[in-house]
Amino acid sequence: MKYSDEQRVKKILENASKLYEYIKESNVTKEALLNDYSLQWLVTTPLYNIGEHAYNISEEFKSAHPEIEWRMISGLRHRLVHDYDGINWEMIADVVFDEIPELIDKIAKINT
């Protein structure tokens, strides 16, 4: 299915929000994420989806919204998919706990 940029933005917001809500509601800590393989698997799917949608947003839309780190978001997805054994879980924990809430705020502002 081909999504519009607006649909992709909504998907990014939806995935990021659901991931962050789960982390908060389940009282997941950074330490737990670093040490629990099942939690690591749990966070990778939404991160894949967020990155895939970010990657496929048009260059025009990305240029119009430079406040979003589009390349970093899609780059993280590529690292997760292609270098799974080399994942730096400290970095992923920082993304999940520190950067996802910021992304939610930024995406919510441009979500139409």
> How far apart (Å, rounded) are the C-alpha atoms in residues 35 and 45?
18
Q: At what angle do helices 5-25 and 37-56 cross, to 10 degrees?
A: 160
- Joined together, the tokens standing for residue 88 give 């730096």
Q: What is the pLDDT of residues 31-87, one digit of tens each?
A: 999 999 999 999 999 999 999 999 999 999 999 999 999 999 998 887 887 766 778
- Joined together, the tokens standing for residue 7 give 């649909």
Domains of the chain, by residue range, sit at: 5-110
Q: What is the pLDDT of residues 8-29, one digit of tens each?
A: 999 999 999 999 999 999 999 9
pTM score over 0.85: yes
